Structure 1
Amino acid sequence: PELISFFRGAGVPVYEGYGLTETTAPCAFTPIGVPFREGSVGIAFPAFTLRIAKDGEVQIKGTCVFKKYHKNEEATETSFTEDGWYATGDLGRIDDDGMLYITGRKKDLIITAGGKNVAPGPIEEVIKRCELVSQALVLGDKRPFISALVTLDEEILRNWLKTKGLDETMSMEDAANNAVVRAEVQKFVDIANEGVSRAESVRKFIILPEEFTQENGLMTASMKIIRPRVIKKYSALLNAQMYTIRKK
């Protein structure tokens, strides 16, 4: 959304759409003449109908939706609902004017111990607006509350520390625990929390001294964070500092 707004602010008309291989072509788009909505991928194309399932999944029906996967009946069966809608695996919402907003992937959906469904993507994006933050990973599946792991952009951090009159040569470990650095990140955690319910809000966060990379096995070749690996690697830290088990 921020990138689209930047180009539009510069007078460049950028239009966003949404579609999958299984829908043949875009099934939602913002056509010329329809008011721009930041974060929206537009309204349904003619011949397509969109709906949001109870769990937040975007589901599609239409003449251009594929019928089946080639020689893969199991995948075909699991990709359609009982009443014939294609289940995209994407999470989203539709506003009162029929505008579709994509909020994340169903496989990344967090279900807290209290049964609250939380899409981590939108929360992570707000936290990453902090200039110091390189990556943010929201956690909380089967946990009592939502938390986050945050990494720092070392190059930007050094310059930022200098402007604040702090030691720009401090180690990343020291920076991760520095009160001024934490306060700066906290500002954006607070902003993210303003846009969600209390059950979805980030109660605690930990700043890590290293980023998630391909080299440490925490990112894919397409630069996506491998959530299960991150959770496994930092499980001891999460249990000790984030989700401390209370003794009875």
Structure 2
Amino acid sequence: MPTTIPGLLREAADKFASLPVLHSRGADGNLAPVTYDELRVLVDRVAAGLVAAGVQPGERVVLVSENRDEWLVADLAIQTAGAISVPLYPSLPAAQVRPLIQRVSARLVIVEDAKQLAKIDAIRAELPLVETIVVIEDGDAPADRKDVIAWAALRTSGDQHLVEVEERYAGVQPDDVATIIFTSGTTGEPKGVMLTQSNLYLNVAAAQKRITLLPGDRMVVLLPLSHAFQRIVTYLALMAACGQYYNRTLRRLMADLHEVRPTIWIIVPRMADLMKQRVVGNVAESPGLKGKIARWALNLAPAIGAAQNNGGQLGGLLKLQQGIAEALVYSKIREQLGLDQLRFAVSGGAALAIATSRWFHGIGVNLVQGYGLTENTPVVSCNPESGPVRYETIGPPVDGCEVRRSETGELLVRGPYVMAGYLDNPEATAEVIDEDGWLHTGDLVEIDPDGHIRIIGRSREIMVLASGKNVAPVAVEEQMEAQPLISRAVVFADGQNVVSALIVPEYEPLWAAVQAAAPSAERDAAGAWLESPAVRQVLDAEIAAANANLASYERVMRYTVLPRDFSLENEELTPTMKIRRTIIAEHFAAEVAAMAGVTAKQG
């Protein structure tokens, strides 16, 4: 049995030679399959091209691209050549890319297109070690530059090195570092997580036992392949002969879902929330009897989902209502979303709100929650894709993953998936992996007698009120964001008398609610309407509903409604759409200070 990712590809290619593994969209816009045999040949030829370009075993090769077939080919080829794959999010600005390339001492960088090439060129003077840039989009590779190689040329430039590629492949060992993944940096400078070949392979094998992919399954890949969770699921799809379709742009997402009709989907909570909001928003505007029936069905969905939690059965009346709603509404919604053939979806990367889980299960979408962190390759636990699902938990640990709760309530993890360490940072490594091999996750948990894990907060994000009470902001934010008119909430409590929050509302539904409460209300483009008494009246009810599920000291007593959402461009979100609390606090310092009853410091 192979315990390396190149070995996984070779084994799968031998087993599924003629089956399609990737589906590329050609110049004509149609999808064309790539078989396992074709993928293996392509990977070997690109690996040979890398050898011809001077890439040595153990060398770090940087990859900066959006999702596409060539991303996977490049990643596999780098590893087959015995080198280390270093994927970077293509959304990162040049100023953030520069130090990462410097830290891995990369001599060769693979970029997607002219945009990414320009990014590297802008910082090239500060990257003296970079000798070669490979451009995937052949037409974007300047023909007059000796330091730039077009992808097509790379594929054919190393055929004389194919024998050496076989020798390199044979030399790849389970303990070799396979990839360096830089954390998204929600709390500071990104750290380079070093994952070995066996880390990756064994985590894939463990994940397959919990979320079983089958030959013939179809997956639309939306999460960035640079994301550790999507990377593992991509390797898992290779292992299981699950066809992969890379969504290249959100504008095409609905079209891709309709065309592919996926049986498997991997998402982050934000995507689930946006899809739910889209459905609810469309139904809210539906006229006549059909609209009334659809709204009744969607309002019923959370109750159905709640009843099904942990294998629960629907009672007589609810079962009858569910049957009617399924026939008239739910089945049609799944078809409209392109999810009518979906076996299950997995949410990871952040906490999935219980209300979101209930809603999706209510409309017949089997959405399960998993948990992991890059330092554990990343999968730690997951609810099973079949059998009882517990919405409030992240499931039990996968096979081979030991977990325990520390005296302070922190989740500790140990096993074959724990990283080799942080790149060039033994001090930081020692801070998170203790002498007994336990990885300190930073997440506060409760572990049920049956092994299910429940996240209750982040140890590093615990805030202390002036009264001395500890507040876990994530738990408060989850309650806020479970309300239909609240898109995002960022909580502050340190040193304050009460908990406060910055609120990003669902602007259109909020305006509809305001109009219903105050028909004479007016909406201005500048956003002053968000400060009106009518908006306060509507949102006060939302806040009160969320506060009802919190301890008295955890309740949000002051809030500010923001005129815009947080953004990646403003560095308020990570590439995986997690909030950067410190930066948000800086950008909205005046609002945070006003809620705390102090004067903001002027920069």
TM-score, structure 1 normalization:
0.80
User: Does 1:184 find its partner at 2:538?
Assistant: yes
| Mapping of residues 133-212 of structure 1, within 5 Å | 133-164=486-517, 165-170=519-524, 173-212=527-566
* Alignment correspondent of 2:81: none
Sort the Cα spacing of 1:201 and 1:31 in 2 relative to 1 into closer, same or farther, 3 A: same
Preserved CA contact (<8 Å) 2:396 2:451: yes
Q: Deviations for 1:52-92, whole angstroms, at most 9, x for unmatched residues?
A: 33444321123443454455322320112354421112333
Preserved CA contact (<8 Å) 1:159 1:168: no
- Over alpha carbons, which structure has the higher Rg? 2
Q: Which amino acid aligns with 2:484?
A: E
| Mapping of residues 48-59 of structure 1, within 5 Å | 48-59=401-412
- Supply the distance in 2 between the matched residues of 1:224 and 1:121 (Cα, whole angstroms): 11
- Supply the distance in 1 between the matched residues of 2:386 and 2:568 (Cα, whole angstroms): 43
Q: Deviations for 1:141-160, whole angstroms, at most 9, x for unmatched residues?
A: 23232111112333333333
Shift of 1:124: 1.5
- Supply the distance in 2 between the matched residues of 1:90 and 1:56 (Cα, whole angstroms): 8
Structure 2 residue runs without a partner (length 5+): 1-353
Structure 1 residue runs without a partner (length 5+): none
- Supply the distance in 2 between the matched residues of 1:27 and 1:133 (Cα, whole angstroms): 30
* Alignment correspondent of 1:43: 396
- Supply the distance in 2 between the matched residues of 1:28 and 1:216 (Cα, whole angstroms): 32
Sort the Cα spacing of 1:50 and 1:172 in 2 relative to 1 into closer, same or farther, 3 A: farther
Q: Secondary structure at the match of 1:149?
A: strand
Sort the Cα spacing of 1:243 and 1:57 in 2 relative to 1 into closer, same or farther, 3 A: farther
* Alignment correspondent of 2:132: none
- Supply the distance in 2 between the matched residues of 1:39 and 1:237 (Cα, whole angstroms): 32
- Supply the distance in 2 between the matched residues of 1:242 and 1:210 (Cα, whole angstroms): 21
Q: Deviations for 1:151-192, whole angstroms, at most 9, x for unmatched residues?
A: 233333333333331424245644332223212222232233
Sort the Cα spacing of 1:132 and 1:15 in 2 relative to 1 into closer, same or farther, 3 A: closer
Q: Secondary structure at the match of 2:561?
A: strand
Sort the Cα spacing of 1:49 and 1:216 in 2 relative to 1 into closer, same or farther, 3 A: closer
User: Does 1:117 find its partner at 2:457?
Assistant: no
Q: Secondary structure at the match of 1:175?
A: helix
Preserved CA contact (<8 Å) 1:130 1:185: no
Shift of 1:132: 3.2
- Supply the distance in 2 between the matched residues of 1:66 and 1:29 (Cα, whole angstroms): 19
Deviates more, 1:132-141 or 1:91-100: 91-100
Q: Which amino acid aligns with 1:204?
A: R
Sort the Cα spacing of 1:190 and 1:224 in 2 relative to 1 into closer, same or farther, 3 A: same
Q: Which amino acid aligns with 1:195?
A: N
* Alignment correspondent of 1:8: 361
User: Does 1:75 find its partner at 2:390?
Assistant: no
Q: Which amino acid aligns with 1:239?
A: A
| Mapping of residues 11-30 of structure 1, within 5 Å | 11-24=364-377, 26-30=379-383
- Supply the distance in 2 between the matched residues of 1:231 and 1:119 (Cα, whole angstroms): 17
Q: Which amino acid aligns with 1:143?
A: Q
Q: Which has the higher strand share?
A: 1
Preserved CA contact (<8 Å) 1:147 1:204: yes
Shift of 1:139: 0.5
Sort the Cα spacing of 1:50 and 1:146 in 2 relative to 1 into closer, same or farther, 3 A: same
Preserved CA contact (<8 Å) 2:504 2:565: yes
Q: Which amino acid aligns with 1:145?
A: V
* Alignment correspondent of 1:128: 481
- Supply the distance in 1 between the matched residues of 2:528 and 2:402 (Cα, whole angstroms): 53
* 1:88 aligned residue (418, 423, 441): 441
Q: Which amino acid aligns with 2:404?
A: R
Shift of 1:42: 0.8
Deviates more, 1:4-13 or 1:146-155: 4-13
* 1:60 aligned residue (400, 409, 413): 413
Sort the Cα spacing of 1:158 and 1:143 in 2 relative to 1 into closer, same or farther, 3 A: closer
Q: Which amino acid aligns with 1:86?
A: L
- Supply the distance in 2 between the matched residues of 1:218 and 1:26 (Cα, whole angstroms): 26
Q: Which has the higher helix share?
A: 2
- Supply the distance in 2 between the matched residues of 1:204 and 1:96 (Cα, whole angstroms): 38
Q: Which amino acid aligns with 1:153?
A: E
- Supply the distance in 2 between the matched residues of 1:233 and 1:70 (Cα, whole angstroms): 31
- Supply the distance in 2 between the matched residues of 1:237 and 1:19 (Cα, whole angstroms): 34
Q: Deviations for 1:89-131, whole angstroms, at most 9, x for unmatched residues?
A: 2333223432112344444332333443322123222222333
- Supply the distance in 2 between the matched residues of 1:20 and 1:213 (Cα, whole angstroms): 23
Count of residue pairs the alignment pairs up = 245
Sort the Cα spacing of 1:60 and 1:224 in 2 relative to 1 into closer, same or farther, 3 A: closer
Sequence identity (%) = 32
